[in-house]
Structure 1
Amino acid sequence: MSLTGFAPVAYLGLDIGTQGLKAVVVTDSGHVLFETSAIYPTAVPTPGWAEQSPGDWMAALDSVLGQVDQAGLSVTWAGIGVTGQMHTVVVCDDRGQPLRPAILWSDQRAREYGPAWEAKYGLKWLREQTGNKPLSNFSLGYLRWIRDHEWTVYQQIRHVAIAKDWVRFVLTGAWGTEMTDASGTYLLDVAHRHWATDWMREMGMDPSWWGTLHESGDVVGTMQYGPSRFRGLPVVAGAGDQAASAIGTQLTPGELGISLGTSGVLFWPLRQYVNPPHPSIHVFCHAVADEWHWMTVTQSAASSLRWFRDQFYADTPYAIVDREAEIVPAGCSGVIFVPYLEGERAPVMQPQASGVFFGLRAYHGRTHLARAVLEGVAYSLNDCYQTMFGREAPKPQRLVMTGGGARSVLWTQILADVLGEPLEIVEDPGAAVGAAWIAHSAVDATQERWPRASIRTAIPGANAAYYQTEFHRYRRLTRVLSDVWESSAEALSADS
């Protein structure tokens, strides 16, 4: 309820996340009035696979829309924005009905396609077509897997959508995708912001499956679904979760976004297209028209800590894990953790990589391992950082940090020490707020950006110099292990 006696203008942001669907209501000044969420399961039909039912997304959507409706907010509704997990692909028939469960971004079933394409076409040509190296979780690999293993399903495909694009189709009846999620399909000519038609033909992909290709702020239709108060509202194309999160954080060129969430993400906005310095760094279209970004990802960041807490601390609060880790000296008396629990994307590009505790002795306890997990994730993020910027490249003007892991004072201090750079820890508005901002900017382009709420700053401290030495030990270890993982994968392949 507005204190000035009038109903504020508000926008609805929807985030189709990996663990659940979140809805936020945000005023045109950036104030979050209401938020709610509903969870859904992930199926693992076989090790390394991950699938979700679009029907579960719809049940969650109905739940959150109902909760927003019942909240009775005194607002003037102005628009709706959508975001969601990138790469996750839904294949549909001519009525838009899913033909099979959605294959998630974390699924590893398509990991053989990238190396095969590189061997056949060459990385140089592939990067000329798409801007990027083919990775196992780009959507094209999943589509090719369906073609090779589920031919009956493949023959029925008439529409293909990324997670949020399918939900937006349900909301509006309009098929299409937009530049940020299209970048993650491995079918877009990212530099020129249109489909890589030669590559699509080579792969047997029909561009019409994807519908209209939009910029994120394009209004694609009006709301045709859910409670009556939302009907007729303009719905924008939206953005993938990483770009939407950067928009929600109000990240600008010159600032590096670091997200310490389930995965660890470095996000570097660009005003013009620039080829990245290393194949593990993606170059994608940004949610801002005619802007791009570099992005690199370490697969298991906060999820490494969650795994460790669940295995060694049961239901103990994370604050207790933090407190125990804090009493252990930097370097954990020789223990190094390699956080490759779900393979790795950057800068070591090996889906077959695995997590490692190295240097264990009989005198080590779970407290040493707890701190080693925090340090190992920090090392992995620094490995990505050093690969992105190198010794000679210009450094970011500011490092802006978000994500659930950023709530840990100890963890952010370790990361500042390892990076050797100050970190501005800011309130994480989340991707749904970014989606609401995209809707807001489409409806009222005259408004300035929403304010960013800074929480604290972590400054490199007494352990910074020591951690630089330890980081080089970590880096050498991962490169040695890389050969081990490669030979192990070859042996397993030969045995199968």
Structure 2
Amino acid sequence: MSEKYIIGIDEGSQSAKILIFDTKGHIVCEGRHPLKPYNLPEPGHVEHPDDDWWDAICGAAKKCMASFRGDPKDIVGIGLCTIRYCRAYLDENCMLAQPALSWMDVRVSAPYVHENPKVKYIVASSGYITFRLTGEKKDSVANYEGGWPVDVDTWTWSEDPQAYKDCGMPREMLFELVKPGDVLGRVTAEAAAATGFPEGVPVVATANDKAVEGLGTGCMGDDTVCLSLGTYTAAMMEGREFLRDTKNTWPKFSCVPDKYLYDTWGIRRGMWTVSWFRDVLGDGYAKEAAAKGMSAEEMLSMEAEGVPVGSDGLMTVLDWLPWVDARYKKGIMIGFDGRHTRAHIYRSILEAVALTMKKYIFDMTDEVGVDIKKIIVTGGGSGSDLFMQIIADVMNIPTVRNEVTGAAGLGAAICAAVAAGVYPSFEDAVANMVRFSDRFRPIPENTAVYDKMYPIYWDITNHTDAILKKTYEIFK
């Protein structure tokens, strides 16, 4: 028998990634295409320009398919994963009636107001891409959270008329919902021409991007947390029920039908801040790194390995993009003296991610009432041994990373593999397709330093908020 292949689509905040896997979860080939910079028409409004979601997927798909050396007839399914909390307004032909909204746009958390007469449908990002790929008005229920009239217990649209009034969305403006692992439709001739995907291949529903990523890391059971190092950095764990009235735990739909996922609070510009600092150093630094056969991040990491634990007292607060109810907050770096270099700043940012997420993770696990024995780290930052060790030391918990760094793409492929009958269950698919590569154990002397820093770190904003509230009135 010939090998079978599965496509995973992973469209995030910064790029679209298309990966083709074999049935054991090995990457066969991949393609990536960047998204364009956001349009910022006014404060709080963050829009995707033109038809950027679809254009990026087409660009990434063509690159991926151009490098595929197998038989396209052996591709058995496509798992579709797109960024969560986004919103698209479609016309009667299901094309964009106005710019799509990023998850950072304040309007996605507010009730819909029907001001544009061209708008006939309101969908998540995955609903729009589903239509472009298949021509079907369907979407995964597991990508609808926050501001949508969904019944979280039945995994369907709500039957309560008040739910539609509260969000401003009539039922007739919404697509049909299916569960993760269900077939949304098949690739149309038009979509095949635009992407290079084989016509007729089934497109399979997944979930919100974090849940798909969690599935792709193998995050299952109640003693494991997955820390996702992305533009939005957060952690998650598998849950048994949809919790209510929680303060530090955000229940979501899982990527496994009829299961749930518990989310922590997150850092709205987590790994973005790492990229920001890299870019601040300029082209000269990038060229210097390239001359040594490294990326700028790799050279920064190498330099930061020589910095003492705790960055000689330099601490960073990651409020580069604050929550909407505290817009006065700003990013902070405090504790500079003559010892500090760019390597100290870089390490301080990494330590800030770990120190922030420690509180968010432990707040969640304490509220749920579980003890964590393992942390799976995913996302681009997981490729750094330095960062992985910092996380293990700060958390004082063994930390592992996956063999495949594109966890969302793999999670999408797992959904497609189950839908195609390659594996009989999600559990079997994870067991066969997910592998861990490296394990990092806490170093006691490092953990001791971070334990002393931790309460000081979380006291910083108690002293700086008053100042930032005053400067906000000047420098909004």
**TM-score w.r.t. length of structure 2:** 0.86
Q: Which of the residues 30, 45, 51 maps onto 2:40?
A: 45
Aligned equivalent of 1:388: 364
Distance 1:204 1:262, change over 3 A: closer
1:305 aligns with 2:271: no
1:330 aligns with 2:296: no
Cα distance in 1 between the residues matched to 2:409 and 2:218: 13
Aligned equivalent of 1:240: 208
Aligned equivalent of 2:396: 420
Mapping of residues 73-472 of structure 1, within 5 Å: 73-74=70-71, 76-107=74-105, 109-110=106-107, 139-141=108-110, 144=112, 147=113, 152-153=115-116, 155-196=117-158, 197=160, 198-224=162-188, 225-227=191-193, 230-254=198-222, 255-275=224-244, 277-278=246-247, 280-296=248-264, 297-312=266-281, 314-315=285-286, 316=289, 317-344=296-323, 350-390=326-366, 393-427=369-403, 428-444=405-421, 445-446=423-424, 448-449=428-429, 450-461=432-443, 462-472=445-455
Aligned-pair CA distance for 1:410: 1.4
State the one-letter code of the partner of 1:285.
Answer: F
Deviations 1:79-121 (A, max 9, x none): 22101111111101111121111111123x44xxxxxxxxxxx
Aligned equivalent of 1:123: none
Cα distance in 1 between the residues matched to 2:344 and 2:361: 25
Aligned-pair CA distance for 1:472: 0.7
Cα distance in 1 between the residues matched to 2:29 and 2:467: 50
Unmatched segments (≥5 aa) in structure 2: 290-295
Range with bigger deviation, 445-454 or 265-274: 445-454
Distance 1:245 1:392, change over 3 A: closer
Aligned equivalent of 1:58: 54
DSSP-derived class of the 2:369 partner: coil
Q: How many matched pairs?
A: 448
State the one-letter code of the partner of 1:226.
Answer: A
Aligned-pair CA distance for 1:189: 3.3
Unmatched segments (≥5 aa) in structure 1: 1-5, 111-138
Aligned-pair CA distance for 1:411: 1.5
Aligned-pair CA distance for 1:460: 1.2
Aligned equivalent of 1:21: 16
Cα distance in 2 between the residues matched to 1:34 and 1:9: 14
Does the 8 A contact of 2:313 with 2:335 survive in 1? yes
State the one-letter code of the partner of 1:168.
Answer: T
Does the 8 A contact of 2:144 with 2:208 survive in 1? no
Range with bigger deviation, 288-297 or 199-208: 199-208
Cα distance in 2 between the residues matched to 1:199 and 1:80: 33
Cα distance in 2 between the residues matched to 1:41 and 1:272: 38
Aligned equivalent of 1:30: 25
Does the 8 A contact of 2:39 with 2:49 survive in 1? no
Cα distance in 2 between the residues matched to 1:208 and 1:54: 26
DSSP-derived class of the 2:192 partner: coil
Does the 8 A contact of 1:16 with 1:164 survive in 2? no
DSSP-derived class of the 1:226 partner: helix
Aligned equivalent of 1:119: none
Range with bigger deviation, 480-489 or 158-167: 480-489
DSSP-derived class of the 2:376 partner: strand
**TM-score w.r.t. length of structure 1:** 0.83
Distance 1:50 1:229, change over 3 A: closer
DSSP-derived class of the 2:92 partner: coil
Distance 1:67 1:320, change over 3 A: closer
Aligned equivalent of 1:478: 461
State the one-letter code of the partner of 1:284.
Answer: K
Cα distance in 1 between the residues matched to 2:62 and 2:347: 43
Does the 8 A contact of 2:147 with 2:167 survive in 1? no
Does the 8 A contact of 1:336 with 1:357 survive in 2? yes
Does the 8 A contact of 1:15 with 1:164 survive in 2? no
Deviations 1:372-398 (A, max 9, x none): 112111111112112212399321232
Deviations 1:15-70 (A, max 9, x none): 22222222111222322212112223022334554221352333333333434444
Cα distance in 1 between the residues matched to 2:40 and 2:367: 44
Does the 8 A contact of 2:126 with 2:140 survive in 1? no
Deviations 1:335-394 (A, max 9, x none): 21001111149xxx7344211011223553333222211211111111211221239932
